[in-house]
Amino acid sequence: MKLKYMNKKIILLLAAFVLMLSGCENNNPFDGGAIISPPPPISYYSPVWHPGGQIIGFNHTPIRYVASSNQFEWAADSAGFWLINADGTNMHRIFPYTLQDPAWSPDGQWIAFVENGQIYKMKFNGTSFDTTSIAQLTTEGNNFFPAWSSDNQWIAYDSDTESPNGMHFIWKMKVDGSAKERIAYDPSEGEIRMPNWSPDSRYIVHIRPVVGTSAPEIFIMDSKGNYPMRLTNNSSFDDYPRYSPDGAKIAYASQTNVGQPQIWLMNSDGSNQTQLTAEGISAIDVPFTWSPTGDIIVYTKYRFDQFPDQNGTLWLLNVSTGQDQQLTFNPVSPN
């Protein structure tokens, strides 16, 4: 199992890097800093906080050693899906493959993930996965970002099934893969993606384009796909919206044309939009998740224009105080 999918933002960033390297070697149009080639590594990504609250799952390819500030070696034989206690102890690998778009079920007994554009689920017993339980839930098209409803009855996702020009729109299905239904579809405007349920399962927050703009905005709609309401109104690239466990807040990733992706927070009606991080986050796959108590967000810290030892590691962000605590670590580069 290997990651096959990169969202459009990552592709645009990589294209920008190519252009910068070919024609502007000493300038970084994103942040004014020196260009890093190759980009700094991301060793830890897709952090997903287990509903039990005690453990966090994540994809991880360890860095075996760092020879200098921009030379390193991957420990590819140790790559896979790992667990760590929320206090930073007992980090260990439980699965020898990375899981794309991982998402725990609300009862914590299953994990949904994507492989080769199809959505699967796999049983979790609290310490390990039961590979004999793997069930394929989708069979057509390319499907991403599975999200469980809080009542454990539905999985929302985005898919290009039955869509023109490969555009993705939001579907939902029963957790056994039955009763598939497309609930958001408007090919005249563009893709509608990255669904996430409200805690009462009444609403789905997501991203969709707005006519006359070049970047997606965050919307909510009801669970049947009706009554879309726009929450953000800016020129940033907003994506990956996620309800807080109490439904009062929505965290999301946002990136302007002149900066790193960052985590932002707003009320569930779109008011009081506030930036939470300042040093950048990874935009690959799952950038962050809430703790079950709603007071902490785990995320991957990342800057594409610097090579600090903390790059591509997991951090815990206290939503109320803004305080950061590093959870995982890379080998320290020599001076």
> What's the confidence (pLDDT) of residue 5?
32
> What's the confidence (pLDDT) of residue 310?
86
Please list the pLDDT of the chain residue by residue as tens digits (335 residues).
433 333 444 433 433 333 223 333 333 333 334 446 677 889 999 999 999 999 999 999 999 877 766 678 899 999 999 999 999 999 999 999 999 999 999 999 999 999 999 999 999 999 999 999 999 999 999 999 999 999 999 999 999 999 988 999 999 999 999 999 999 998 888 899 999 999 999 999 999 998 777 689 999 999 999 999 999 998 789 999 999 999 999 999 999 877 899 999 999 999 999 999 999 999 889 999 999 999 999 999 998 888 788 889 999 999 999 999 999 999 876 65
Q: Angle at Cα 29 formed by Cα 25 and Cα 30, nearest 5°?
A: 120
Give pLDDT tens digits for 186-196: 888 889 999 99
The contacts found for 247-253 with CB under 8 angstroms, 24 or more apart, are 247/198, 247/199, 247/200, 249/294, 249/319, 250/205, 250/218, 251/276, 251/288, 251/290, 251/297, 251/319, 252/218, 253/281, 253/283, 253/287, 253/288
How far apart are alpha carbons 118 and 156 in whole angstroms?
Answer: 13
> What's the confidence (pLDDT) of residue 333?
67
Q: What domains are there in the chain, each with its CATH number?
A: 8-326 (2.120.10.30)
Q: What values do phi and psi take at 224, rounded to 5?
A: -100, 0
